[in-house]
Structure 1
Amino acid sequence: MNFLITGGTGFVGKHLVDALHQKNHHTYILTRSPDTNSNSTLTSYIGYDHPIEQLPAIHGVVNLAGESLFGYWTKHKKEKILSSRIETTEKVINIMKQLDKKPEVFINGSAVGYYGMSEDLMFTEATEEPGDDFLAHVVVEWEKTAKQAENLGIRTVFARFGVILGKEGALPLMSLPVKLFAGGRVGSGEQWLSWIHVDDVVELLMFCLTNPTIQGPVNFTAPNPMRNKEFTKILANVLKRPYWLPTPGPLFRLATGQMSKLVLKGQYVLPRKAQEHNYTFIFPELEHALRNLYQSA
């Protein structure tokens, strides 16, 4: 089969492309700079200019592109976080409109930030009311743009990612204080962290691509969220480092600005739809996930 991918050279995208290649699928990676990449037997890099001319029949489209959430959230950074997601998604929708034969499935990257932040509430895909903070607003606008694919008769999935654990992404930043013997809870430590191993992200993406009964929002989180204090304690144990030096919330906010809400607030999100469709998690428990990542480093 042929798959069109945006963000195919990013953290999750590279893992997904590898998994598709293992099943002998061809990936067409949409990128701003196709000439800087080399095509291979199973990979073709195409630009945003006249992509239709370079595409065969496409079975599925996965949109993973967007400005990183990491970094100090200045006004400009926040504008980029929103605009990069909306503009890329609009371009992908426009490409699908032009295809004579429409893809069977469109998976649009999204985030559990849709639900807003809470230490008390539990969120599943049945939670329809979005949060009222910046990230929730971004996700609402992003999914609204992606939802246009449904009008084309394309099965559409909103992959609401939690904190993805891998050798790239958030984990290296989260583990740095622990590695430097300065690990401890951040803020109150009571805030929830809804995490998922990158291998489960890829397998669940593949599961959604091939399962015609899955559509709408799907939470990409492990079934066992952890409080920040528990997460850091397990991480310190896996890395054989002490767990003793808490980071005060005000200090963390001073260092990271509004992005600090991602760590200081958090939310308890369950992957109800994946479980209802009998997806089996490779890494349902945090310690197993972390040991896999660090022992294979």
Structure 2
Amino acid sequence: MTPSTVVIAGASGFIGSYFQRRFLQEGWQVRTVGRDASADAQWYDDGAITKVLDGAELLVNLAGRSVNCRYDERHRRELLDSRVLTTRTLGRAVAACAEPPRTWINSSTGTIYRHADDHPQSEGSGELGSGFSVDVARAWENELEAAVVPGTRKVPLRMAIVLGAGGVMSPLRNLARLGLGGHMGPGTQKFSWIHVEDLFRVVLFVHGQLGLSGPVNAATPQPVDNRELMSLVRRSMGVPFGVPTPSWLLEAGAVLIRTQTELVLKSRWVEPRKLLDAGFAFEYPSLAGALGEIAAGHSDPSLT
């Protein structure tokens, strides 16, 4: 039997690297679209992208510049273009395919919802927020919606913060090592997250569930607040104490290390209602279990 083919766009990050390994382990043929010379097609070559996509079963787009930066004019443009223009390029390529992918799962973000510390935000009842990050997320999803690709089901995946051997875990663990792993700001802000393995399983699940349409929230049903997050990070590393960081100091520090305090101070409370209603079972529903697995090194893509 010929293996099914998945095309991963934006496959060079820690999520993309993990996905490549896991799809291969599951018996898929993997093709990639990216900026690296090692990719099967580069972003500037529509014809090559169409060729890579033609006959594929699934397209997973993970492209997008890291949000861990200051939101100056240059970075704002890069953040927007790296999401919207790549999605637009994929839309042209899918439309040109003789045999287009059956499913197109496009990254989006749980940050599209408002600062929520009162109740969770589901796909049906969640309230969209305001500000630059939300504007980018809206533009990202609008570009996917605008793609005219008959025969291809398009699903924006509103991902919470993804935990694994990379991404947000590196700076949090570094803070804990330095003794600065206490709660940040008020410590009551919600932290919605998902383990990278569960994110991979969500992608397979959504692909197989033809009735799932529209935005899908990818987040564990057990979010924590920032105080508990940092406590569990310290515990997973055997660090007994961490100095709390007040909001004013975070603001000053963010300027120095050229990032945004929104990444830790916004209360993200994302509910995966569609996944739960469809019967998806999380392998890592609790943060303690997820951090223990990450500390053991099992989610490092370099380890097989």
Consecutive unaligned residues in structure 1, runs of 5 or more: 38-43
- Deviation beyond 2 Å, 4+ runs, structure 1: 52-56, 148-153
* 1: CA distance, partners of 2:85 / 2:279: 34
SS of 2:293 mapped into structure 1: helix
Higher mean Cα deviation, 267-276 or 83-92? 267-276
> Which residue is equivalent to 2:27?
24
> Which residue is equivalent to 2:10?
7
> Which residue is equivalent to 2:94?
96
Q: What does residue range 99-118 of structure 1 map to in structure 2 within 5 Å?
A: 99-118=97-116
Give 1:192's aligned amino acid: K
* 2: CA distance, partners of 1:213 / 1:175: 39
Change (3 A) 1:83 1:129: same
SS of 1:108 mapped into structure 2: strand
Higher mean Cα deviation, 212-221 or 258-267? 258-267
1:120: Cα distance to partner?
Answer: 1.8
> Which residue is equivalent to 1:280?
281
Give 1:262's aligned amino acid: L
CA contact (8 A) 1:121 1:267 kept: no
* 2: CA distance, partners of 1:163 / 1:238: 18
Residue by residue, what CA displacement relative to the aligned partner does 1:244-272 show, whole Å, maximum 9, x if unpaired? 41101111112225721121122211111
SS of 1:288 mapped into structure 2: helix
* 2: CA distance, partners of 1:262 / 1:229: 15
CA contact (8 A) 1:115 1:123 kept: yes
Residue by residue, what CA displacement relative to the aligned partner does 1:39-84 show, whole Å, maximum 9, x if unpaired? xxxxx71223121345541211111001101122222112111111
Residue by residue, what CA displacement relative to the aligned partner does 1:214-255 show, whole Å, maximum 9, x if unpaired? 221111111111000011111112211123411011111122
Residue by residue, what CA displacement relative to the aligned partner does 1:9-38 show, whole Å, maximum 9, x if unpaired? 21111111212112221122012233xx2x
* 2: CA distance, partners of 1:238 / 1:157: 34
SS of 1:216 mapped into structure 2: coil
Higher mean Cα deviation, 44-53 or 225-234? 44-53
* 1: CA distance, partners of 2:151 / 2:103: 9
* 2: CA distance, partners of 1:73 / 1:239: 32
Change (3 A) 1:20 1:84: same
Change (3 A) 1:74 1:255: farther
> Which residue is equivalent to 2:301?
none
CA contact (8 A) 1:150 1:156 kept: no
TM-score by length of 1: 0.92
Q: What does residue range 63-82 of structure 1 map to in structure 2 within 5 Å?
A: 63-82=61-80
Higher mean Cα deviation, 277-286 or 124-133? 124-133
Consecutive unaligned residues in structure 2, runs of 5 or more: 299-304
Give 2:20's aligned amino acid: V
CA contact (8 A) 1:11 1:169 kept: yes
Give 2:58's aligned amino acid: G
Q: What does residue range 242-261 of structure 1 map to in structure 2 within 5 Å?
A: 242-257=240-255, 259-261=260-262
* 2: CA distance, partners of 1:187 / 1:196: 22
* 2: CA distance, partners of 1:97 / 1:212: 20
> Which residue is equivalent to 1:46?
41
The alignment's C-alpha RMSD in Å is: 1.7
Give 1:2's aligned amino acid: T
Change (3 A) 1:91 1:201: same
> Which residue is equivalent to 1:266?
267
* 1: CA distance, partners of 2:260 / 2:271: 23
Task: Find 1:184's aligned residue among 177, 182, 186.
Answer: 182
Residue by residue, what CA displacement relative to the aligned partner does 1:188-214 show, whole Å, maximum 9, x if unpaired? 001000011111111111111222122
> Which residue is equivalent to 1:295?
296
> Which residue is equivalent to 1:232?
230
Task: Find 1:141's aligned residue among 139, 160, 163.
Answer: 139
Give 2:131's aligned amino acid: D
* 1: CA distance, partners of 2:267 / 2:150: 35
* 1: CA distance, partners of 2:64 / 2:130: 21
How many residues get paired? 289
1:171: Cα distance to partner?
Answer: 0.7
Give 1:5's aligned amino acid: I
Change (3 A) 1:205 1:55: closer
Residue by residue, what CA displacement relative to the aligned partner does 1:129-183 show, whole Å, maximum 9, x if unpaired? 4211211111111000011346524211111111111111001111211112222
1:278: Cα distance to partner?
Answer: 0.9
